[in-house]
Amino acid sequence: MGIGTGNPDHVTLEGRRALQEASVVLLPQKGSDKADLAELRLAILRACGASARVVPFEMPVRDESLPYETRVARWHDAIAARWQAALATGPVAGPVALLVWGDPGLYDSTLRIAERLQPRPRLRVVPGVTALQALTAAHAIPFNSVNGAVTVTTGRRLRAGGWPEGAETVVVLLDGSCSFEALAPEGVTIWWGAYLGMSEQVLAAGPLAEAGPRIKELREEARARHGWIMDIYLMRRA
């Protein structure tokens, strides 16, 4: 189920009921430097009044030596195997919940991983507030311009292909490399946000030529301070 971007208030009423009905919650562990991500999930469970048994599992590490698609496919296989191993450690008397940042249907692989389970489970998807929604709300801007095309993409694809053809607005997720630096900045405005909806939220915006270096510096400082970062940005051509 989608849990928004870290603020318990982002969990919908449907999501709260789902958590209260769950018997088990699978909790990913991503190392000591990202321990506060697990604590955020636990805080959300407490805020929603959930009493489910929490079952932690260690997230596997991707093999960076493999081609990208092969690397991701094998990583998903390994995650599915760890889900099943975690669930085998105790009784499962009712629904099993997985807490997904943002929404399970937007640039998240939880549903693809669930398809690997044997036997295949009967899925129920509870939507959540997306990082895209949180970003545009934080900056008080619309997602799109009037009659303008929008492309949602990744940093990897932005670096490889540049500005998407025909797009007036581009939203970039999963970018750990400030890929906007690969673009010609003339006429482009950027709105960026990290830790959206959380007390640590950081925002920056402006013409790409001016705001880009500032965003890179803010991003590096925030990552060093917290040990992790989740961010997103929207760019629009004049």
> Which residue, of 114, 146, 163, is where some domain finishes?
114
Residue 17 has pLDDT above 80, yes or no: yes
Q: What is the pLDDT of residue 33?
A: 66
CATH number (domain holding residue 143): 3.30.950.10
Where do runs of H (alpha helix) occur along the chain? 13-21, 35-47, 68-87, 110-114, 131-139, 155-161, 208-226
**Domain assignment present for 1:** no
When pLDDT is averaged across residues 13-25 and rounded to a whole number, the result is 97
Separation CA 165–CA 149 (nearest Å): 10
- pLDDT, one tens digit per residue, over 120-130 is 999 999 999 99
**Domain assignment present for 212:** yes
> Which residue, of 57, 82, 114, is where some domain finishes?
114
Supply the range of the domain harboring residue 102.
8-114
Q: Cα-atom radius of gyration of the chain, to the nearest Å?
A: 19
With cut-offs at 50, 70 and 90, classify the pLDDT of residue 35: confident
When pLDDT is averaged across residues 149-163 and rounded to a whole number, the result is 96
Separation CA 180–CA 171 (nearest Å): 11
The reported pTM is 0.90
The number of domains in the chain is 2
**Domain assignment present for 120:** no
- pLDDT, one tens digit per residue, over 81-130 is 999 999 999 999 999 999 999 999 998 999 999 999 999 999 999 999 99
Residue 6 has pLDDT above 90, yes or no: no
With cut-offs at 50, 70 and 90, classify the pLDDT of residue 31: confident
CATH number (domain holding residue 85): 3.40.1010.10
**Domain assignment present for 122:** no
